[in-house]
Amino acid sequence: MMLVSSGMLLAQTNANPTEEQKIALDNASMSTESAVVPFSTYANEPTGSRSMVVEIGTGTGYGAYPSYYGDWSNYWENCHTQTLYLASEMGSGMLITHLQYVFERIAPAGSNSLSNVQIRIMETTDNVLTAGAFYSTAGATLVWSSGTYVPATATGWANMIDINDYVYTGVNNLIIDILWGDNGYYTGTYFRTYRTVGAGNRMLLGYADSETPPNYDGASSNFSNIRFYGDPLMAPGDIQGNVTNSGGLAISGAIVGIDGYGSTTTDGSGYYFLGGMPANEQTLTCYKPGYNVANDLVNVASGGLITHNFTLTSPNLTVSPLRLDETMAPNEYLTDYIGMLNTGSGPVDWTAEVVYPVTKAPVSAPVETIDWSTAKRFDGKFGAGSFIPANGPAMSDRGTMDCPDGSTFS
């Protein structure tokens, strides 16, 4: 096991230090540190690229035990953290697109990469976290993962984490679940974020060198200062319309929808109604077997109703001749031609292949069997009444027997 501090190797031993020993070493190291850089001098604050930025937490220190072992702290080879951020702190619903953490200290190069990082988001009505065990992540949404990740290369606000967009309605509280490990190392100069003290338990965490993933270790009222970036949520809108063919006739049973949000089917008159679709520009798709797929950009009015009609085209392919029969001798080749004509209203794609007939013929071969009551070795020691003792002394005599190819034993 390796312990690194300030980029220098301090000790290497086959015996892993206990949790208590590691915490004692860390406490001793903290006692020699200089004062924490105040919040007002945060550096490296990149300008947000989204229309909404929600910053939660104003703490100017790295928190109290055990909170500073949470989130990105690589003083341990494995870490699991669940942090609660309240709906009252979020302010409103939003489409969360990025997360950002601010670092009081960073790990040295060569000891700053985390393995198998996963970030999940889930919602809860709890205003404080219940200590004693992690909340189940069965219903959580995995929004980001990476095989290797360096959380920060300088103190201050780190690069934003571009997560899969998460729709937060603003009703419930949020839990940010961070899990990573096994790194295969730990460092005495580990990542620390700035933290704020909340009311009640705001963080659940587990950390370990020999547990992957780590078990629950404790709770804390401290939580990491964080920024949520995203776009405001807008009220959904409705879409209606009619689907016809190129001749103007209604198409029933056509499917109309927006991928990931819902779909509906046209009725006998070709009419459809699609409710509760996300506002702004969306790709609306319409299709039915036998027709070409249509993808149209529509601008869904927030809280309103728009009308969008589809005209589906369909191909009509004529192939001549429909069949080619040729008998070929070995090593012969043939060039032939097939005519194709599309008389429909829509484009068509096609593929062709040559199908070779497969001939199967039964194959039989004589199989010789051996009657062990009469079988003999070359030295004649096998025969009627022969036996090999079980759990007996090793046999010093090993003969050979002639077994023709294809013999079976039963």
Q: What distance in Å separates the CA atoms of residue 176 and residue 356, rounded to the nearest whole number?
A: 58
| pLDDT at residue number 8 | 37
User: Taking 50 as the threshold, does the pLDDT of residue 199 lie above it?
Assistant: yes
Where exactly are the structural domains of the chain? 2-232, 237-312
User: Taking 70 as the threshold, does the pLDDT of residue 47 lie above it?
Assistant: no
pTM (global) more than 0.85? no
User: End-to-end CA distance of the chain, in Å?
Assistant: 57
Going by their DSSP bridges, the two strands 203-208 and 78-85 should be labelled as: antiparallel
| pLDDT at residue number 43 | 41
Spatial neighbors of 23 by CB under 8 A, at least 6 apart, are 65
75: left (phi over 0), alpha (psi -120 to 50) or beta: alpha
| pLDDT digits 0-9 by tens, 337-373 | 888 888 878 888 878 777 766 667 676 666 666 665 6
Q: 10 Å Cβ neighbour count for 198? A: 23
User: Taking 50 as the threshold, does the pLDDT of residue 7 lie above it?
Assistant: no
Place of tokens 């200590």: 131
Q: What distance in Å separates the CA atoms of residue 224 and residue 297, rounded to the nearest whole number?
A: 41
| pLDDT digits 0-9 by tens, 270-290 | 999 999 888 889 999 999 999
Concatenated DSSP letters of 293-362: -EEEEEEEPTTSEEE--EEE----EEEESS-------TT-------EEEE-SSS-------PPPP-----
Place of tokens 């209604």: 250
Provide the pLDDT confidence category of residue 326 given band limits of 50, 70 and 90.
Answer: confident
| pLDDT at residue number 12 | 39
> Looking at domain 237-312, what is its CATH homologous superfamily?
Carboxypeptidase-like, regulatory domain (2.60.40.1120)
Q: What distance in Å separates the CA atoms of residue 152 and residue 157, rounded to the nearest whole number?
A: 8
| pLDDT digits 0-9 by tens, 369-395 | 666 566 555 555 555 555 444 444 444
| pLDDT digits 0-9 by tens, 208-227 | 999 999 999 999 999 999 99
Q: SS3 of 258, please? A: strand
Strands (E), 42-93: 52-56, 78-85
| Cβ proximity of 79 and 207 under 8 Å | yes
| pLDDT at residue number 38 | 45
| pLDDT digits 0-9 by tens, 66-112 | 999 999 999 999 999 999 999 999 998 899 999 999 999 999 999 99
